[in-house]
Chain A
Amino acid sequence: MNQALLINFCGIGIITLILHSYFKRGLALTLNFFLFAFMLTFTKGGEHSFKFMILAKAGPQTIFPAVISTLIWILSFYLSWCIAEKVVERMPYFKNRVFPVLFFAGIFVATFAYAIEAAAINIGGWNAPVVNGNEFLLIPFYVVKRQFYFSVYFLAAYFLIACSEYKNKDWKIVFFILPFINTWIPQFFGLGLAQFIKEILTLIILLLLAFRSPLRFYPAGTKQSSGGVFLKTELVDLLPVAVMVILTFILFFIDTVKLHDMRLLVSLLPMGFFILLAIKRIPLFWITFIALLCLVALKKLAIPAMLPVGLLVLFQLIIKSSFIKNNSFSQ
């Protein structure tokens, strides 16, 4: 697949998602989301903008790869928000809460990155892995981990500033520092202990907030646009699903027809399970069953595919046990 075609597809996908966002969330949220996602991700696969100016000079960029990586990450950020919202709707306790959506959005971006990178590395699109030191993934773990934290820090800043009750605070801009923290810590202190501590702390805090923080998405003040006669709500809701399905199909095509490597299809499984979880009509029991089947068939390589399902089941178990213990939580 050549670069121009990829840019065209991603461009159409993003326009579709912008329309979805505009009709569902209104102009302000849409503009701010896509504008800041663009500024964050432009060049270097999403790490440039908050890098220090002079160091950034070290690696001059060519425009095509920069545009492709930007478009793909914007696509993944917005899709992660939509998919995570749908997944979290399966757990009424967490419905409309910011941090559970943030957590699952981060996990989705990681699974998305897994599928994209596995295909791209093998097709020779971009950076080949140095050493793949694990038996569970087809690509190095750090690639997936980096995208998880990258998306979590961006979405955290965006959700807190634009979509939570803090949007009316005079000091809300303080959350703007979050994506900077993510890029500055490795720059200032290297990729060693400080980076490890940052990642562990981020994960712990995120999980604690997901369970303990009552912070909800704050719809007041957002003007949703009416889709008119032709754009019914159901149709608008289907737009991200359509983009997701087409994207999965393209990756399937690349893995099987272009690369002739059926093993790469394993990288599509985690994302595929996320899509299944986002469709509320499919019972969790069935999805769990299919995930277990994959595990039996593919063994270690299917463990990442279990992640979305496993996390959802775990979250539900924790809520239920907490409900039994306290017997008094409110939804």
Chain B
Amino acid sequence: MDLKIVLLICFFSIFIFIVHSYFSRGFRLTFNFFFFAFLVAIIKEGPMMINGILVKNPTMPYEFLTKNTSVMIETMLAIVGWVFTIYLGWYIANRIAQRLGVWENRIFPVVFISGLVTASVGYAVEATAIGIGWWQWTIEDIRLAGFLAGGVPLIVFETWTHFPTQYLLMPYSIIECSRFKRASWKGIFFLIPFVHSVSTQFRPELIRTSIEHIALIILFILAVISPLRFEYSGVRRPSLRWNLNLKLLESLPMLIIMMLVLILVFLDLIKIHNAQLLISLLPVIFFILLAIKRIPLLWIVFFALLCPLILNRQALVAVVPVTVILGFKILARIKAG
């Protein structure tokens, strides 16, 4: 599959997401979300183009291997890829949160789960991309190598969790979707991405990684203890026209993520001929199952436990989504009791 086609699919999906967001959250929230998503994605992925054009000695931790694709296409793919994944992660996390009882409609659990969903999407995408030869990681990362399929380094999980949550979803949710949206000092939450961005400036590298991990721990603690809720009062939603069905509209991103999974399955089996890569799809599939409220949690737990039994340690990652949701459920019980 050509990268240009992948880019087109991403653009089409983002268009669908914009339509979905516009009808479910109104113009302002949609505009701000996608504006900032593109902005932070450009900040993150811009160097690839500069390295490709201006700098002869690339400093990127990964490199594209496709020969007939321009640097511009590769950069655009990386940028729209982030926007695509971040919205998808947020959507799935919002749906999963509906299972969580007391945590439903709370900001931090949704942001935390979003990070896990984006990481699982990243795992599946990276395994296929590395397998098909689209790009490769130039840094050596052997941490937990035996537990991950397709030669995906652990840094993928870290990046695909930290970046969406700390650069976009946390500040965006607090500034635009919480009770703080009316506070005159809400701009202070821009410090969250700023601190991360600045940490890249100072040595040693440990400063940046420490900040990222501490932020993730804080996010988890806030997910458990903070009562901050999504607040959409004052949001003007457009009325549905052209006989658009609200339920159909609401399920559009779900169709997109299923399409993504199907494409990845097709590539893993037909193009790469490596069925083992399907293991990388398991976490995202379990997140999709968790997002469908009609499927009982018990069944999903059962399937998740079957995976490592059948597929050994490489399938342990597949248990993570279910474990997290069960953890939240148990905590909810403890709180209620």
A contact set with B: CB distance below 8 Å: 26-28, 31-32, 35-36, 39, 42-44, 48-50, 52-61, 63, 66, 170-171, 173-174, 176-177, 180, 184, 187-188, 190
Chain A neighbourhood of B194, CB < 8 A: 39, 42, 49
Give the bracket for the number of chain B residues in contact with chain A.
20 to 34
Interface set, chain B 48-84, CB cutoff 8 A to A: 49-50, 54, 59-61
How far is B199's CA from A49's CA once the two chains are assembled, in angstroms? 11
A56 to chain B, nearest CB (A): 6
Chain B neighbourhood of A35, CB < 8 A: 187-188, 190-191
Q: Are A60 and B203 in contact (CB under 8 A)?
A: yes
How far is B46's CA from A50's CA once the two chains are assembled, in angstroms? 11
The segment from B28-36, B262-270, B307-315 found at the interface with A is B28-36
How far is B191's CA from A32's CA once the two chains are assembled, in angstroms? 12
Q: Are A48 and B201 in contact (CB under 8 A)?
A: yes
Chain A neighbourhood of B61, CB < 8 A: 54
B35 to chain A, nearest CB (A): 6
Q: How many A-B residue pairs have CB under 8 A?
A: 89
- Interface of B, secondary structure class, is helix
Q: Are B50 and A61 in contact (CB under 8 A)?
A: no
Given contacts A39-B194, A43-B201, A188 and B46 within 8 Å (CB-CB): yes
Given contacts A32-B187, A170-B31, A190-B54, A50 and B59 within 8 Å (CB-CB): no
Q: Are B60 and A54 in contact (CB under 8 A)?
A: yes
How far is B202's CA from A50's CA once the two chains are assembled, in angstroms? 16
Q: Are A53 and B27 in contact (CB under 8 A)?
A: no
Asked if B251 is at the interface of the complex by the 8 Å CB criterion, the answer is no
Asked if B299 is at the interface of the complex by the 8 Å CB criterion, the answer is no
Asked if B276 is at the interface of the complex by the 8 Å CB criterion, the answer is no
Chain B neighbourhood of A53, CB < 8 A: 43-44, 47, 197, 200
Q: Are B201 and A56 in contact (CB under 8 A)?
A: yes
Asked if B184 is at the interface of the complex by the 8 Å CB criterion, the answer is yes
A-B contact pairs, 24 of them (CB 8 A): A26-B184, A27-B184, A28-B185, A35-B188, A36-B190, A39-B194, A43-B201, A44-B201, A48-B198, A49-B194, A50-B43, A52-B43, A52-B44, A52-B47, A53-B200, A54-B60, A55-B46, A56-B201, A61-B201, A66-B201, A170-B31, A173-B31, A173-B32, A174-B35
Asked if B221 is at the interface of the complex by the 8 Å CB criterion, the answer is no
Asked if B39 is at the interface of the complex by the 8 Å CB criterion, the answer is yes
How far is B27's CA from A258's CA once the two chains are assembled, in angstroms? 59
How far is B184's CA from A26's CA once the two chains are assembled, in angstroms? 10
Given contacts A49-B197, A52-B50, A58 and B59 within 8 Å (CB-CB): yes
Closest to A53 in B: B200
Given contacts A42-B198, A53-B197, A188 and B49 within 8 Å (CB-CB): yes
How far is B201's CA from A50's CA once the two chains are assembled, in angstroms? 12
Contact partner of B50 (CB less than 8 A), chosen from A28, A48, A170, A188, is A188
Q: Are B47 and A54 in contact (CB under 8 A)?
A: yes
How far is B61's CA from A54's CA once the two chains are assembled, in angstroms? 9
Chain B neighbourhood of A26, CB < 8 A: 184
Question: Closest 10 interchain pairs by CB?
Answer: A28-B184, A170-B28, A52-B46, A60-B203, A54-B47, A52-B47, A55-B47, A32-B187, A61-B201, A39-B194
Contact partner of B27 (CB less than 8 A), chosen from A36, A39, A63, A170, is A170
Q: Are B187 and A60 in contact (CB under 8 A)?
A: no
Chain B neighbourhood of A50, CB < 8 A: 43
Q: Are A180 and B39 in contact (CB under 8 A)?
A: yes
Q: Are B59 and A57 in contact (CB under 8 A)?
A: yes
How far is B59's CA from A28's CA once the two chains are assembled, in angstroms? 40
Chain A neighbourhood of B203, CB < 8 A: 60
A214 to chain B, nearest CB (A): 26
Closest to B185 in A: A31
Chain B neighbourhood of A61, CB < 8 A: 201-202
Closest to A48 in B: B201
Q: Are A39 and B191 in contact (CB under 8 A)?
A: yes
B48 to chain A, nearest CB (A): 8
A189 to chain B, nearest CB (A): 9
B88 to chain A, nearest CB (A): 22
Chain A neighbourhood of B32, CB < 8 A: 173
Given contacts A43-B198, A61-B202, A171-B31, A27 and B46 within 8 Å (CB-CB): no
A241 to chain B, nearest CB (A): 27
Closest to A187 in B: B50
